[in-house]
Structure 1
Amino acid sequence: MKPYMKIETGDETMDLATLSQGLDTIWVVLTAAMILLMEGGFALLEAGFVRQKNAVSIIMKVFVDITFGALVFYFVGFGLMYGRDAFGFIGTNGFMMTGDLSHISLNITHDTYWLFQCAFVIAVISIVSGAVAERIHFRAYILYTIAMTALIYPMAGHWVWAAGGWLGKLGMIDFAGSAVIHALGGFSALAAAIFIGPRIGKFTADGKSNIVPPSNLPLASVGAFILWFGWFGFNSGSTLSATNGSIGHIAVTTMLAAAAGGAACILFTMFRYKKADPPMVINGSLAGLVGITAGCAFVSDGIAIIIGAVCGIAMVLATEFLESKRIDDPVGAFAVHGVSGSLGALAVGLFAQPELTQGIGQGYYGLFYGGGWNLLGVQALGLAVISIWGFLLTWCALWLIKRVMPVRVSKDEELVGLDVGIHGVPAYNQEHDFLDLEKLKLNQQQHDHT
C-alpha cells in the first residue's frame, strides 16, 4: 500500500487521514454512549439491592451523577485533569474547553475526547452513591458530587493519564482505570460509608449483622448485565481508535475476566455457604470486570481468567470483612471496586507481557515476564497514593459539607424511606389513584418497626 492514498466518493475526494479521524470519532462517541448507558445499569443494580422504599432515591442520585457531574466536569474538572501540566500534579487550562489544548495530541477532536472522559467521571461518582444508599441526604450528595467531579477524580486522573502527570512519567500503567476510577471510587466509597455510619438496624448491639434483603434481585441482575455490556465500551473504547488492532483482544480479556469472576463466586459461595449466593454472583462478575480494566490490553487470555477469578473470591472475603467491622456498604461498592481495582492495578505489575506493551517503553512489563520489580513498584505506589487521596479527600469533603447541612437524613426519614421522606413519592403507587403521603409514612414506619 502506498503511504498516501485518496478514496474517491462521488464528487468528493477523501484522504485516508480524514477517513481515519472520522472512524475514530464514530468509535469514541459510540463507546462513550455505551459507558453512559452504564448509568442505567448502576440505577437498576442499586435499586434492586436496596429496599423498595429507597428505589426512587437511587434513581435521583444517578440523575445527579449525570447532570451535575457532566456540567462540573465541563466547567472545572476537565481543565484540572487534562489542562497543561503544572509540576506533574494539576492542569492549568482547558476549562470550558477553551484555551490552547494542543498538548492533547489525538486523532479525534477535543470535544470528542471530552465526551469520552465525561462518561468516565460520571461512572466514578456512581460508585460512591451505592455505599451511602438509604441514608445520605440528597442535598449533601449533590455537594459531594461536585467535589468528586471538580477536584478529587480530576487530580488523580491527571497524575496518571495527562501529559506530564507524575505517576504517568514514573511509568504507571492503568489502561482504562482499575486504579484511577475503581480504586479511587472504591476507597472514596469506603470513607463515605464509615463517615455516614450504618443504616438503622443493620447491626445489633453486640455487633452482629442483620440481613437486609434486596428488594428485587432480577432488577439488580439486569443492571449488572447492562454494566457488563457497557464495559466493552469502557475498555475497548480506551484505545480511542477504531483501527487499533488490540480492540478484539481487549474485548476477549474483558469477557473472560467477567465470566471467571462470576463462575468463581458461584463455586466459592456453594462451598462456603452451601448455596450459590445470587448477590455475590452478581458482584463477582462485576469484580472481574473491575480487575481486568487496568491490564485488559496487556495480559493474555489465561491471565485475564485468573485475574477475574481472584477478584471474584476476594470480593466475597472483603464483603465479609466489612460486615465484621460493622461497616455498612449496601451494594458492595468497596468490595467490588476498591478491592478488585487494587488487585487489577497490581496485576499489571505482575503479568503485563512484553509483546503486548510494545511502544510504551523499555521495562514496562510484568515481574513474571522478566520486567523486574520496577513496574510492580510503580503500580503499588500509584495505587497507594490514589486510594489514600480518594479516602482522605472524601472524608474532608463530607466533613466540610456537614458544617453547613446534614449529611445524613433524620431517623424518621430513614425509617419511612428516602423516596417518601425526601422526594415525596414512592417507587410504586400500589394502584392508589391519590396518595395520602402522611398515611403512607405512618404505614411504612409501622412496617419497619415490625
Structure 2
Amino acid sequence: MKNIVSPITQVSTDGVDLADAIAQNLLTTNNVWMMLATALVFIMHLGFAGVEAGFGQAKNTVNILFKNTVTPILGIVTYGLTGFFLMYPGFEVPGWLGFDSSGWSMFWFSPADADVTVAYAGGNYTYWTDFLFQAMFAATAATIVSGAIAERVKLWAYLMFTVVFVGLVYPIIGSWKWGGGALDAMGFYDFAGSTLVHSVGGWGALAGVIMVGPRIGKYVNGKTIEKPGSSVPLAVIGVFLLWLGWFGFNGGSVLSADPGLVSFVLVTTSLAACAGGLGGFFAAYIAFKRLDLGMVLNGILAGLVGITAGADVINPIFALLIGFVAGILVVISAIFLDKMKLDDVVGAVSVHLTCGVWGTLAVGIFSTNPEHSFITQLIGVLICGAVAFLSALTLFFVLKKTVGIRVSEEHEKSGLDSHEHGIRGYTIVYDE
C-alpha cells in the first residue's frame, strides 16, 4: 500500500509549527461551518415570509412581505448597536444585568483587535462570524411576533416594537443563560433557544394578539370564521425552507464543526420535525375530521421548536416522542386560542410559545445529562416567560396609547396592500 503523508505532518519536525497548522485548520473548519450555519438561519427569514404570506389573505400579502423584509434589516442593525453586548456582557459574577464596554469598543472602533473569539468552541471561530450568527437568532424572535398579529397591526407600531424587543428585551433575557448570567449559574439548559428565542418571541406574539385584538369577522356569534390564506403552495415552501434553516439553527448551536455532535443534532432535529408532522396530522384528523395540511405544516414546525432546547442531549427515540407530543400540542393550543378569541394568523403562539415551553421542560425529563432538572427548567421557563410577556405587553400598551397599533376598520376590510403600499401582491393583467 502506498504511504499517504498529510501535508500537515511535513510542516515541521519540532511540533511547534505542526500545532499551529492544526489549530489554523481547526479554526478554518469551524469558521466555515459557522458561516454556513449563519446562512441557513438567514434563509429562515424567507421561510417565515412564505409561511406568513401563504397563510395570510391575498389583500395583505405585500404588507406581510414588507414586514418580513424589514424585520431582519432592523434586527441585525439593532443587535449590532446594543443587543450583542447586552447578551454577552461577560458577567464577572453571574447575575441578572451586566455590561462589558470593551466589547462595544472592539466591534465599532477597534476591528483589528477582534480577529478571533475563544469563548465557546475548542477550535474557535472569528468574532465577526460569532456576531452575525447570533444576530440571525435575534431577528428571528421579532419575526415570530409578525405572523401572529398580521393583517391588522400598524406597520410603524410593529417596527417600533421590533427595535426595542430585539435591542433590549431579547438580549437581556438571553444573557441570563447564554451570556453566563443567573439562569446559567442555576443550571438552566436551553441548547439552541426553545425558550430564549422561540418562547420569548411567542410571549411577545401573545401580548400582541391580546393588545391588537382579533381581525374583523374572525369570531361571530361564538363561531370561528376561517379566513382562507392566499397561497397554500407558498406556505408549504416556507415550512420546508424553515426546516432547512433549522439545520443551521440547531447544528450551528454546537458552536464548532465537531462532526459527531453536529451530525447527532441534525438527526434529532429531523426526527422531531417528522414526528411533529405526524402528531399534527393525527391530532387534526381527530379534532376536525379532515386531513388538515395546515396543521401538518405547523406540526413540523412544532417538532422543530420542541427539540431545539435539547437537540444535543436527547436520544433519537425521545426526540421522536418530543416531536410527536409537540405536534399534538400545537393543534390543542390553536383550538384553545380560538376558544379564547385570540386571533393568531399563522399559529405562531401555538408553535413557538406552547411548544417552546414543552421542549424546554422536556430537557428536564429526557436529557442524557443527569444534572438537568425539571424544576430548574420550569423556573427558567417561568422567569423568561414573565419578563418577555410583561415587557411586550408594556411595549404594545405604550404604542397603543401613543401612535396606535391597529389600522382603521376601512383599511382592514379592503386590505393593507393598497392603502399602505400602493400595490397588491397578486395582480392579474388582462390584455385588451
TM-score after normalising by structure 2: 0.91
> SS state of the match for residue 61, structure 2?
helix
1:252 correspondence with 2:267: yes
Q: Deviations over 1:275-333 (max 9, x none)?
A: 11111111001000000000110011110000000000011000000000000001000
Tell me what 1:183 maps to.
199
Q: Structure 2 vs 1, CA of residues 95 and 411 (structure 1 numbering), >3 Å: closer, same or farther?
A: farther
Aligned partners of 2:49 and 2:55: how far apart in 1?
10
- Of 82-91 and 210-219, more deviation after overlay is shown by 82-91
Tell me what 1:138 maps to.
155
Aligned partners of 1:192 and 1:147: how far apart in 2?
14
Tell me what 1:173 maps to.
189
Q: CA deviation at 1:432?
A: 6.1
Q: CA deviation at 1:85?
A: 2.4
Mark the runs of 5 or more structure 2 residues left unpaired by the alignment.
1-6, 12-16
User: Identity of paired residues, percent?
Assistant: 39
Aligned length: 409
Equivalent of 2:332, from 300, 317, 321?
317
Aligned partners of 2:65 and 2:195: how far apart in 1?
26
Aligned residue type for 2:204 = S
Instruction: Give 1:24-39 correspondences, 5 Å limit.
Output: 24-39=30-45
Aligned residue type for 1:167 = L
1:149 correspondence with 2:156: no
- Of 79-88 and 252-261, more deviation after overlay is shown by 79-88
Equivalent of 2:384, from 386, 389, 394?
386
Q: Deviations over 1:353-393 (max 9, x none)?
A: 13xxxxxxxx424xxxxxxxxx1111000001111111111
Q: 1:315–1:336: 8 Å Cα contact kept in structure 2?
A: yes
Aligned partners of 2:71 and 2:104: how far apart in 1?
19
Aligned residue type for 2:361 = L
| Over 6 Å off, 4+ runs | 99-103
Q: Structure 2 vs 1, CA of residues 352 and 105 (structure 1 numbering), >3 Å: closer, same or farther?
A: closer
Q: 2:207–2:396: 8 Å Cα contact kept in structure 1?
A: no
Q: CA deviation at 1:90?
A: 2.8
Tell me what 1:85 maps to.
91
Aligned residue type for 2:62 = V
Q: 2:95–2:176: 8 Å Cα contact kept in structure 1?
A: yes
1:203 correspondence with 2:201: no
Aligned partners of 1:234 and 1:88: how far apart in 2?
27
Mark the runs of 5 or more structure 1 residues left unpaired by the alignment.
355-362, 366-374, 434-450
Aligned partners of 1:211 and 1:217: how far apart in 2?
14
Aligned partners of 1:432 and 1:155: how far apart in 2?
53
Q: CA deviation at 1:348?
A: 0.2
Aligned residue type for 2:42 = L
> SS state of the match for residue 251, structure 2?
helix
RMSD: 2.0
TM-score after normalising by structure 1: 0.87
Q: Deviations over 1:249-284 (max 9, x none)?
A: 111111110000101221222223221111111100
1:326 correspondence with 2:335: no
Aligned partners of 1:398 and 1:43: how far apart in 2?
23
Aligned partners of 1:231 and 1:182: how far apart in 2?
12
Tell me what 1:192 maps to.
208
1:59 correspondence with 2:65: yes
Aligned partners of 1:279 and 1:210: how far apart in 2?
16
Pick 1 or 2: higher relative contact order, CA cutoff 8 A, min separation 6.
2
1:364 correspondence with 2:371: yes
1:22 correspondence with 2:28: yes
- Of 40-49 and 208-217, more deviation after overlay is shown by 208-217
Aligned partners of 2:156 and 2:73: how far apart in 1?
14
